[in-house]
Amino acid sequence: MNIARLVHPGFWFDKTPLDDALALAKQGVGGFCLYGGTRQQVADFSAAVRRVSPLDYLLISADYEDGLGRWLPDAPLLPSNMALGAANDEALAFEKGFLTARQARSLGVDWVFAPVLDLADNSLNPIVNTRSFGKDPQLVIRLGRAFLKGLTKGGALSSLKHFPGHGDTTTDSHVALPILTKTREQLLARELVPFQTLLPFADSVMLGHLLLPEIDETNPASLSPEIADKMLRRQFQYDGCVLTDALLMKAIGDEKQAARKALEAGADILLVPQDPFSLLDFLEKEHIAPEIISRSHTHQNALCAKIKNAGVRPTQQVAFSSTDFSYRTAQKAITLCGTLPILSAGQTVHYLILGADGKISARPLLDALKNQQIKLEPFDTKADHLLVISLRRYQAFQGKIALEDADMYRLKNALKTTSKATAVLLASPWALPADISLHAKLFTFSPAPEFQETAAEILLGHRVPHGKMPVNF
């Protein structure tokens, strides 16, 4: 049997050579996980690697957790899971899953690595944040189940992640190994509740790169027989496809040895290695047990069969047709803490933008206010009304979520000379320290244009916020 099928390399548009991907496809890798690109690039790539693959079917996957717009500039950014948690609406969670599945499938992507079932119960977690539905396991179960139904209805495969729960950590596993010092009983009471409940409805489970020393002192969950085999497969009786989180992440050390240990622990798929060619050579020489290879092939065959029965792919025109989904979600999700000073036409408002990363902008919010005759000025030395806009969000490989010291210095100085201050947090709800004194905080949980424009309507008193905070401060 083909050992190469157990490896699913990553492909970064405008970075990874296409010839490398074609060579890997010809070698028989089981699929590719895609990063970036445009709609046309994704569609062309999916078709190209499938044409040369010797497999009956090649699986194409992506981390489209917030719709395709998180990775594709010409696709819509859908509401974050935390926005859905604030809206507390299962119909919206279903719709997000359905839209994501339809849009992904129209480009040839059949496998969406979602939903995230990690609990948002640690404000210092630099990588989960708005990817989570919230802190309450029952909320996560209800919305996660609805999202899964939407994905399935839309014809895409799903993946629960990051087993056994990455929420209550303070380390980004892209840069180091997080440690979760909880007992098995504590995990069963919180972190594992959503996974255990939703396993029967999932197409796959992604193992997290985190160390749980109370269960396995040596191996991260993704490489641990205690967690991947004894807990997931035996205790929870899960007999579906299990994959590692990306092997190129820095949490697991040498990826060749990590790959071997992951397979022996119970993983079926080795996802996104740093050097797939080298890993394939290594696995060929390692003489991996035939039953491990057979198990992986069986589980991947089941996924392929499900996709083949999912029906005809929708066209891009149909899948990306206009929808008011994000507007409807924003109107139910945006959450207010404090007493909001309402803005009025002709008023001068100074603004201070914090946490900019060059990839998202507050332009939709500012333009919406300007269109209602609000006079906007960048903050200089003094303001009657200050609008603090936080763009801070989770980002892989950054290692932290708090604002930079320079931004905190600017904020504290600005507040000294401001009469009224309102904050609009367009991503992380924990971006501003709790001890910062503000008249009001408006939480959108998403930088999508529809959320920014709805936030402007609330600032102007044209709309009332209805969201309920799904996390603690």
> CATH number of the domain that 126 lies in?
3.20.20.300
- Picking from 319, 342, 364, the residue at the C-terminal end of a domain is 319
Please tell me the predicted confidence (pLDDT) of residue 19.
Answer: 98
Q: Which two tokens stand for residue 28?
A: 């028989």
User: Can you tell me the distance from the alpha carbon of 15 to that of 34, in angstroms, rounded to the nearest whole number?
Assistant: 12
Task: Name residues of the chain where pLDDT drops below 70.
Answer: 172, 174, 395-400
Tell me the residue range of the domain where 81 lies.
3-319
Residues 64 and 124 in one domain: yes
| Burial environment of residue 145 by CB neighbours within 10 A (0 to 12, 13 to 18, 19 or more) | buried
Which helix (H) or strand (E) segment holds residue 461: the answer is none
pLDDT in tens, 20-47: 999 999 999 999 999 999 999 999 999 9
Q: Is 168 annotated in the active site?
A: no
Q: Is 174 annotated in the active site?
A: yes
Please tell me the predicted confidence (pLDDT) of residue 363.
Answer: 97
The H helix count followed by the E strand count for the chain is 15, 15
346 is a domain residue: yes
Please tell me the predicted confidence (pLDDT) of residue 455.
Answer: 98
469 is a domain residue: no
384 is a domain residue: yes
Query: Is 10 strand, coil or helix?
Result: strand
Cα–Cα distance list, 160 to 71, 144, 196, 199, 418 (Å):
20, 9, 10, 8, 46
User: Can you tell me the distance from the alpha carbon of 464 to that of 419, in angstroms, rounded to the nearest whole number?
Assistant: 24
Exactly one of 172, 245, 268, 407 is catalytic; which is it?
245
- Picking from 300, 319, 338, the residue at the C-terminal end of a domain is 319
Exactly one of 8, 162, 166, 174 is catalytic; which is it?
174
